[in-house]
Amino acid sequence: MSNLFNKVIDNKQFNFQPLEFGGEAGYHVDVKDEHGTRWEFSMLRKDDKWKIEGEDLPSWIQGSSGSLANAIDEHE
Protein backbone atom coordinates (compact mmCIF):
# COMPACT_ATOMS: atom_id res chain seq x y z
CA MET A 1 0.00 0.00 0.00
CA SER A 2 1.22 3.52 -0.78
CA ASN A 3 1.95 6.44 1.51
CA LEU A 4 -0.22 9.32 2.69
CA PHE A 5 -1.96 11.26 -0.08
CA ASN A 6 -4.51 14.06 -0.47
CA LYS A 7 -7.33 14.54 -2.96
CA VAL A 8 -9.72 17.45 -3.47
CA ILE A 9 -13.27 16.18 -3.95
CA ASP A 10 -16.26 18.53 -4.13
CA ASN A 11 -14.04 21.47 -3.08
CA LYS A 12 -12.89 19.71 0.11
CA GLN A 13 -9.44 18.26 0.75
CA PHE A 14 -9.58 14.65 1.88
CA ASN A 15 -6.41 13.29 3.52
CA PHE A 16 -5.77 9.56 3.18
CA GLN A 17 -3.41 7.61 5.44
CA PRO A 18 -2.86 3.87 4.91
CA LEU A 19 -3.73 1.62 7.82
CA GLU A 20 -3.88 -2.05 8.60
CA PHE A 21 -5.78 -3.73 11.41
CA GLY A 22 -7.13 -7.17 12.01
CA GLY A 23 -5.73 -8.39 8.71
CA GLU A 24 -7.72 -5.80 6.78
CA ALA A 25 -6.03 -3.01 4.89
CA GLY A 26 -7.63 0.35 4.30
CA TYR A 27 -7.27 4.07 4.82
CA HIS A 28 -7.89 6.48 7.65
CA VAL A 29 -9.49 9.55 6.05
CA ASP A 30 -10.02 13.02 7.44
CA VAL A 31 -11.61 16.13 5.98
CA LYS A 32 -12.75 19.53 7.26
CA ASP A 33 -16.18 20.91 6.48
CA GLU A 34 -16.98 24.56 5.70
CA HIS A 35 -17.18 25.32 9.46
CA GLY A 36 -13.73 23.91 10.17
CA THR A 37 -15.03 20.74 11.82
CA ARG A 38 -12.72 17.79 11.17
CA TRP A 39 -14.44 14.53 10.23
CA GLU A 40 -12.57 11.25 10.52
CA PHE A 41 -13.51 7.83 9.19
CA SER A 42 -12.06 4.73 7.56
CA MET A 43 -12.31 3.33 4.07
CA LEU A 44 -12.08 -0.46 4.07
CA ARG A 45 -12.16 -2.87 1.13
CA LYS A 46 -14.93 -5.43 1.60
CA ASP A 47 -16.10 -7.79 -1.14
CA ASP A 48 -13.82 -5.95 -3.61
CA LYS A 49 -15.54 -2.60 -2.91
CA TRP A 50 -14.42 0.32 -0.78
CA LYS A 51 -16.80 1.02 2.09
CA ILE A 52 -16.98 3.96 4.51
CA GLU A 53 -16.75 2.96 8.16
CA GLY A 54 -17.55 5.63 10.74
CA GLU A 55 -20.20 6.93 13.09
CA ASP A 56 -22.48 9.94 12.74
CA LEU A 57 -20.96 11.03 9.43
CA PRO A 58 -22.75 13.75 7.48
CA SER A 59 -24.58 12.85 4.29
CA TRP A 60 -22.08 14.74 2.10
CA ILE A 61 -19.36 12.29 3.18
CA GLN A 62 -21.61 9.26 2.63
CA GLY A 63 -22.54 10.69 -0.77
CA SER A 64 -18.87 10.96 -1.73
CA SER A 65 -18.14 7.25 -1.27
CA GLY A 66 -17.81 6.58 -5.01
CA SER A 67 -15.41 9.50 -5.51
CA LEU A 68 -13.39 8.47 -2.46
CA ALA A 69 -13.14 4.89 -3.77
CA ASN A 70 -12.03 6.19 -7.19
CA ALA A 71 -9.36 8.38 -5.55
CA ILE A 72 -7.94 5.38 -3.69
CA ASP A 73 -7.99 3.17 -6.77
CA GLU A 74 -6.23 5.87 -8.84
CA HIS A 75 -3.58 6.28 -6.16
CA GLU A 76 -2.88 2.58 -5.80
Each residue's pLDDT tens digit, 2-49:
589 999 999 999 999 998 767 778 999 999 999 999 999 999 988 889
State how far Cα 39 lies from the chain centre: 10
CA dihedral for 35, 61, 44, 14, sign (positive or negative): negative
Domain residue spans of the chain: 5-75
Query: Taking the model in full, what pTM does it have?
Result: 0.87
